[in-house]
Amino acid sequence: MIIASNFKTNHTRASTKAYMDTLSKFVEKEAIKDDVLVFPTATSLDSFACHDNLRVGVQNAYPVEKGSFTGEIGLEQIDEFGIKTILIGHSERRHILGESQEDIAKKFAFFAEAGFEIVYCVGEPKEVREEGIEAVMTYNLSQFEGIDTNYDNLIIAYEPVWAIGTGLSASNEQIEETLSELKKHVDKPLLYGGSVKEVNTKEILSIKHCEGVLVGTASWDVDSFCEMIRISKALS
Ligand code: PGA
């Protein structure tokens, strides 16, 4: 299983350090075998002393080594911390920050070339979900345009836009059906994301084809995130 935390625009440099200290100790003490990923804000990145299967990634970066791209970070800034994991295609970047599929594909190609572990997000908005599974799949598959789905170090996160940060997770049936359809097209580990919390972690991780979760809100409290990791461990 892969249990991932997306901090989004939360936590400071100091609170991220405290979070990572607690999480590292937990992973070590509980001898966690699952992969645990944490995506802090760019200002909180550091060379955290992590256990092997606890990795820090970037939420975003510009597909360039370095250069004149105001407000962005590139490979040089990420390399400084030995970070080799990146989140690409998150719905907030697509829908709020306006990244196009073309921008996303360029970013994917650049970081794949650099050998990064890529957590690639897809997910449909509410009006598409309401049209049924065929529309959902057409939409989700269009988000693979320009993406090398055979890339070795690739993890897919299915995150319906309407379930992100709303407290309303997709139903188990919706998750299972969508993941099964995705699996036919992309034979990579599939995560679910969208209002995952302690109370639904067990049932979501038990869904066929679900190989982990990408958690926002409920993961910002380190004890809550550790509890989700504990639930995953108990299932293995
Ligand atoms: P959420 O966010 O857990 O707050 O719904 C998930 C995500 O955006 O990755």
Per the structure block, which two tokens stand in for 29? 């003490």
Distance (Å) from CA 112 to ligand 1 centroid: 24
Per the structure block, which two tokens stand in for 100? 């196009």
Q: Checking phi first, is residue 19 left (phi over 0); if not, alpha (psi -120 to 50) or beta? A: alpha
194 lines ligand 1 (CB under 6 A): yes
85 lines ligand 1 (CB under 6 A): no
Q: What band does 4 get if pLDDT is binned at 50, 70 and 90?
A: very high
Of all atoms in ligand 1, which is nearest to the CA of residue 8? 8
> Percent of the chain beyond pLDDT 90?
95
162 lines ligand 1 (CB under 6 A): no
Rounded to an integer, the average pLDDT of 60-82 is: 98
Other beta carbons less than 10 A from residue 198's beta carbon = 16
Higher pLDDT, 67 or 167: 67
Rounded to an integer, the average pLDDT of 193-211 is: 97
- Nearest Cα neighbor of 119 from 143, 150, 90 is 90
13-29 pLDDT, tens digit each: 999 999 999 999 999 99
Rounded to an integer, the average pLDDT of 74-95 is: 97
Rounded to an integer, the average pLDDT of 145-152 is: 98
> What is the strand order of the sheet 54-56 is part of?
54-56, 35-39, 2-6, 212-215, 190-193, 154-158, 117-122, 85-88
